Structure 1
Amino acid sequence: MSVVVAPLASLAEAFREPDHAYLSPRRVGAALGLQIQSLAERARVSRNTPAARPQNESLQQYLREVLRVLAAAEDAAAGDRTRAIFWFMNEPLQEFDYLTPDALVRAGKSQVVVDYIESMAGGATG
């Protein structure tokens, strides 16, 4: 029996800490082009947390929200992960006072970004 893996599952698997059931701050940070301290700042945890306690719930919640938005962006970009990551980090969104998706996720607005991606993929114009 074959299992269909949703984009989020494959993305999450790509960023999983090897041999553990949590996301790797190091892998996510590297994919986003961020130093680990910058990732910690975005997640609002101590700069030592990603290395010392990568399974920290606040850190993991932030990483899950990042991956949720990236999964939607990757899906909208026809599976192009590099393009989705570039968009997430750099695209100023006019509809949101020119904040980037990264800034919106940091502000706790990941669902707004997912809804935006889905509306754009559905044919809405910006």
Structure 2
Amino acid sequence: MKARSFPKAYAERLRISVRRLADLAHVHRTALLRAPESEKLQDYMRNSVSVSAILLDSNGGDAERAIYWFRNVLLTELGGETTGHCVANGKTESIRRYVTNLATGATG
């Protein structure tokens, strides 16, 4: 897959618009087409994919459930944001620890 098409494919898989992806990555929407190699965009996608992999594993391989969690579940323990927002706001390590702890049975 060409680098120029990856952000679009990524957005489609998460069922978000490319504009929403740009907002989450803190880049202008034209960056997805003109500069898909943008460091901010690549960092967001790389971090969100790594967190999504943990979510996928913790949901027994259920991609739909992992995507739902990533996009919709508000995490009160992390400021009431979704996983996607936490990643967008630089809280990737906190999210990784949180999801890993949940997967291993740790509770608040």
Normalising to structure 2: TM-score of the pair? 0.91
Supply the distance in 2 between the matched residues of 1:19 and 1:49 (Cα, whole angstroms): 15
RMSD between aligned residues: 1.7
Which residues in structure 2 correspond to 1:3-82 (within 5 Å)?
18-19=1-2, 24-82=6-64
Supply the distance in 1 between the matched residues of 2:90 and 2:2 (Cα, whole angstroms): 29
- Higher radius of gyration, 1 or 2: 1
Residues 27, 41 of structure 2: 8 Å contact kept: yes
**Equivalent residue for 2:73?**
91
| Superposed displacement of residue 55, structure 1 | 1.7
| Superposed displacement of residue 94, structure 1 | 2.1
Q: Does 1:104 align with 2:86?
A: yes
| Superposed displacement of residue 24, structure 1 | 1.2
What amino acid is the match of 2:97? Answer: D
Structure 1 unpaired stretches of 5+: 1-17
What amino acid is the match of 2:90? Answer: G
Supply the distance in 2 between the matched residues of 1:96 and 1:117 (Cα, whole angstroms): 11
Residues 24, 84 of structure 2: 8 Å contact kept: no
Supply the distance in 2 between the matched residues of 1:81 and 1:66 (Cα, whole angstroms): 14
| Superposed displacement of residue 106, structure 1 | 1.0
Identity of aligned residues (%): 33
| Superposed displacement of residue 80, structure 1 | 1.0
Supply the distance in 2 between the matched residues of 1:23 and 1:118 (Cα, whole angstroms): 31
Normalising to structure 1: TM-score of the pair? 0.79
Supply the distance in 2 between the matched residues of 1:70 and 1:103 (Cα, whole angstroms): 13
4+ long deviations beyond 3 Å: none
| Superposed displacement of residue 99, structure 1 | 1.3
